[in-house]
Structure 1
């Protein structure tokens, strides 16, 4: 019995539905407990896993060389990295902004962005290749129809007649929104989006299916309630409030995730998330 469907975000290609459920469920139950509600057993939860769509095939020998700044493609990949850089600099004093003087050894703007992001809370400890790979997954989702379609189909297979809540993080909120719009026959669902980039115009919002009209996106028919939760320092959720773009029925809430602003676990343990989930399950 699947009451809650979880939809992951970027950089999950080396995991699977069981490992994600194992990582998410304790945090989700912590949020429920903080809201004064009971916890969910594992059979009540399923994961719409699509990370393997981005996993590169194996190679003989030493494998493919790691990605570096020269591999960043112009357009969406480049623009995403620069927007994350600006957002991280705005939120964290330790991250040098685009206006800061560039070092002689890193004259290229993309390299400067990667260097700066390595000091941010979200990308701390990640290699350049991982940061580029994250932007590449977003680009591939929007430019490769087969990837976009397959991700939506994974979610559609996870939703059952008993499903009442979809919890979607990061790029997963885009997958969830588009799948909900594509399945108007689903009914009475609550959508909880965490660290969502849905309202980022020019990069995400304008690429959605169905296409927004006159600056407004279509309301997903199956959704009776939509709660959007964002940390003020989340560099991926560049636009924290979705209501201006998706309608006043969206309830936008702010949380403080500490140093790991985009990490799904503090989003799930937040009392606000627990309350939204508890009310939907009730």
Structure 2
């Protein structure tokens, strides 16, 4: 029997490891139920390494309101500002916001703002709020800033990587489910951690992954050669087309090279999450398409 490893993104306020693990388990079991499949795992087969407390400072505050104020003010150092701006420009292109749409949501001080001004960032994030049901501009900003912190802070990255690697058992088949920032963490750990030579990963499922954001791709390229992680047999990238964190196209051809004989990534674009949470992990895990992929790997 394979075990399941859950690799999370930012914790919700007041969430701890026990609450998050329970949320993921409930959602995953509901996905199996929706697919008409008996859940082929026991609770003790599921592990969730916790690093949520280490992520709160990356976005400037424990509460969402505090973090959102920091993001919208743009009081960030130059490298982080450039990273977030690159993400926002890519999101604006993906949704093809018109000049009229941007003008309709721009604050008075931000009217006519263009890159690289922070007024443009605020305007695009407001456009996400207005025109993309179930998606918020704050989520885009939060995930972008988390990714920047993880990818540029060596000590933080090493601590998180070692925590994730420490719960993978050598030689034991392990299905990895990774959401949002957790998808970036899972890719990097599986691709580059020294312990990975002894791992057996029949399936990696990335959910709402920012791995096609060009800013993330560039930053990962500074850490290692981008390629399919060696311990992984199959990789499914599940994305709701309206999830702004998961935009950017297929991972092969953006994050990963294209070529004859190279491993492929199955792009599961049939996921359609409810409009009250396009990026929400509980909806991704509850999707029967995702459950079917997990069931095959566990079975």
TM-score by length of 2: 0.77
1:38 deviates by 1.8
Aligned with 1:173 (options 179, 183, 191): 183
1:83 deviates by 3.3
Structure 2 residue 83 is the aligned partner of structure 1 residue 76: yes
CA contact (8 A) 2:4 2:175 kept: yes
- In structure 2, how many angstroms separate the alpha carbons of the residues matched to 1:233 and 1:152? 29
Q: Secondary structure at the match of 2:110?
A: coil
Aligned with 2:236 (options 218, 227, 235): 227
Q: Residues 21 and 146 (structure 1 numbering): CA distance in 2 closer, same or farther, change over 3 Å?
A: same
- In structure 1, how many angstroms separate the alpha carbons of the residues matched to 2:46 and 2:169? 11
Structure 2 residue 108 is the aligned partner of structure 1 residue 104: yes
CA contact (8 A) 2:237 2:266 kept: yes
Where does the alignment leave 5 or more consecutive residues of structure 2 unmatched?
112-118, 257-261
2:158 corresponds in structure 1 to 149
CA contact (8 A) 2:183 2:207 kept: yes
Aligned with 2:289 (options 251, 272, 281): 272
- In structure 2, how many angstroms separate the alpha carbons of the residues matched to 1:29 and 1:42? 10
Q: Residues 96 and 12 (structure 1 numbering): CA distance in 2 closer, same or farther, change over 3 Å?
A: farther
Task: List per-residue Cα deviations over 1:151-205 (Å, max 9, x = no partner).
Answer: 211211221244420000111111001111122221243101111121222x111
CA contact (8 A) 2:200 2:232 kept: yes
TM-score by length of 1: 0.81
CA contact (8 A) 2:187 2:229 kept: yes
2:219 corresponds in structure 1 to 207
CA contact (8 A) 1:31 1:269 kept: yes
Q: Residues 58 and 197 (structure 1 numbering): CA distance in 2 closer, same or farther, change over 3 Å?
A: closer
1:38-57 → structure 2 map (5 Å cutoff): 38-39=38-39, 40-56=41-57
Where does the alignment leave 5 or more consecutive residues of structure 1 unmatched?
none
Structure 2 residue 199 is the aligned partner of structure 1 residue 186: yes
- In structure 1, how many angstroms separate the alpha carbons of the residues matched to 2:249 and 2:11? 21
1:195 corresponds in structure 2 to 208
1:29 deviates by 0.8
How many residues are matched?
A: 269
CA contact (8 A) 1:122 1:263 kept: no
Q: Residues 173 and 50 (structure 1 numbering): CA distance in 2 closer, same or farther, change over 3 Å?
A: same
Task: List per-residue Cα deviations over 1:10-67 (Å, max 9, x = no partner).
Answer: 35475322111111111101112233322233211111222211224999xxx99942
Structure 2 residue 112 is the aligned partner of structure 1 residue 117: no
